[in-house]
């Protein structure tokens, strides 16, 4: 039980950290125009999804280990649905961005010298999306394996106080 709490904390923190990094990388991917018409749009979508990812993950991280509260943010179902949705969305974003990489990484095509930058940001943003999808899916597995309390609290059953033992 305690090991799952530690693993959840680690993976929540990894999703949070990679979400912030993805915000930085996708902001560059969303401003540089390249060979592909859709990469700019997909980069902006990645930017628009990355900010809510790390903001919502930080909220869930703040409430994931509070066994004495019955707040909505402590519910196991909310945590599980959030990370499953994040995993699906980031998988789609990673795939659509990486489908634009062959066009962006065409170095035989005439360029103004910035093709390497377009290629790098497209590949980094797409790969970051896939990494976030894997991290969110792994976090969802650990959330699913956690034992919820009777009220549905993700922190698990409450420990009895010393006086009651």
Bridge partners (DSSP) listed for residue 75: 153
With beta carbons less than 8 A apart as the criterion, state whether 136 and 56 touch: no
| Residues contacting residue 54 through CB under 8 Å, at least 6 positions apart | 15, 16, 19, 20, 22, 23
Beta-bridged to residue 153, according to DSSP, are 75
Cα four-point dihedral sign 73, 137, 40, 47:
positive
Q: So what's the pLDDT on residue 60?
A: 92
- Average pLDDT (71-76) is 85
Averaged pLDDT, 78-94:
96
| pLDDT tens column, 94-143 | 999 999 988 888 777 777 776 778 888 889 999 999 999 999 999 999 98
Give the span between the Cα atoms of 72 and 78, in whole angstroms: 8
Could you report how far apart the first and last alpha carbons of the chain are, in Å?
Answer: 20
Give me the pLDDT at residue 138, please. 96
SS3 75: strand
Question: What is the C-alpha separation between 164 and 112, in angstroms, rounded?
Answer: 74
Question: 78 Cβ partners below 8 Å, 6+ apart?
Answer: 60, 72
Q: Considering the entire predicted model, what is its pTM? A: 0.86
């Amino acid at each position: 039980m305690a090991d799952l709490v530690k693993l959840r904390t680690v993976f929540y923190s990894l999703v949070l950290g990679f979400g912030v990094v993805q915000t930085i990388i996708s902001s560059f991917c969303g401003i540089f125009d390249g060979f592909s018409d859709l990469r700019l749009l997909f980069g902006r979508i990645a930017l628009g999804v990355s900010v809510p990812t790390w903001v919502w993950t930080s909220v869930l991280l703040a409430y994931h280990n509070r066994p004495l509260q019955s707040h909505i943010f402590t519910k196991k179902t909310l945590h599980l649905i959030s990370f499953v949705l994040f995993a699906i969305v980031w998988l789609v974003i990673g795939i659509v961005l990486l489908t634009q990489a062959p066009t962006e990484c065409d170095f035989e095509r005439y360029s103004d010298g910035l093709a390497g930058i377009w290629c790098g940001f497209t590949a980094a943003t797409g790969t970051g999306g896939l990494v976030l999808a894997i991290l969110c899916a792994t976090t969802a597995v650990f959330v699913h394996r956690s034992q919820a309390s009777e009220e549905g609290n993700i922190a698990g059953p409450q420990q009895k106080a010393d006086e009651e033992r």
